Amino acid sequence: MADQLADLRYDIALANRMLAHEGVLDAFGHVSARHPDDPNRYLLSRSRAPELVEPDDILEYTLDSGPVTATDIPQYSERVIHGEIYKARPDVMSVCHHHAPAFMPLVICGIDFKPVFHLGAVGGLNPPFWDQRDEFGDTNLLVVKPEEGASLARRLGQHWMVLMNRHGVTVAGTSVRETVFRCYFSSRNAEYQIAAAAAGAAQPLSPGEVKHAFNLGTGTTGQARSWEVWTARLGKAGGLPPRGKTAAKPKAKAAAAPKRRTARR
């Protein structure tokens, strides 16, 4: 189990970094995974920019989003997004919250996500919108209270993606790799959808096409091929997370900024 847990911690760190490198995450956003041995716990990084997350940054949480081991390390304020979805959906094994630029026109304007190419079907048919204002009034739009996270989880329902008005997107999956695949290709779809609408009459996939194409990320070699190429691109850029234990960093020091790279969409 120790090796399995170590591998999962590495994959979570790698997922954060590759989604940052591919332009889905930036200084904000986060990827988590359900604990491989205890379904009532999940793993999520300490509060850190996704591009910098290391395996040693990964903390263990209860589904109430409290750290299993008490710590004064800064934590993500929106971790209840993850905990409440894991509570509501036993089939979900990984969650990502992001503010991908490609999605922002949709969530700002309230435009429905429509799969417009085959890989875009991983976002599902008619993923719902969640408007925090409807239930909680004016907020700073961060999902920080358990009741806010529970409301978001209810709105996600049995879908695999929920759009958050004026905020971003939350994506679920049955594994870290599936979640990354869904985040990346739904973001590409959102980009193509807006571009196609600007160019003329966009023609989305039919419900039947979405149903058949939905499993391209899990029922073919596509997910493994994508993970491999995203890992290779991150490696060429020098951004792979370290393996094994890293030297402890002084708490008072901010992490050094990495060399700026041009992120891919």
Catalytic site positions? 78
The DSSP output letter for 175 is S
On whether the CB atoms of residues 215 and 223 are closer than 8 A, the answer is: no
Give the helix/strand (H/E) hosting 61: strand 58-62
For residue 153, what are its two tokens? 């989880």
Helix (H, G, I), strand (E, B) or coil at 68: coil
Q: In what order do the strands lie in the sheet with 30-34?
A: 58-62, 41-45, 30-34, 94-98, 168-173, 161-164, 129-130
CA 67 to CA 77: how far, in whole Å? 12
Which pairs with CB-CB distance under 8 Å and at least 24 residues apart come from 4-11? 4/36, 4/37, 5/35, 5/36, 5/37, 6/55, 8/33, 8/36, 8/43, 8/176, 9/43, 9/55, 9/58, 10/55, 10/241, 10/243, 11/176, 11/177
On whether the CB atoms of residues 97 and 78 are closer than 8 A, the answer is: yes
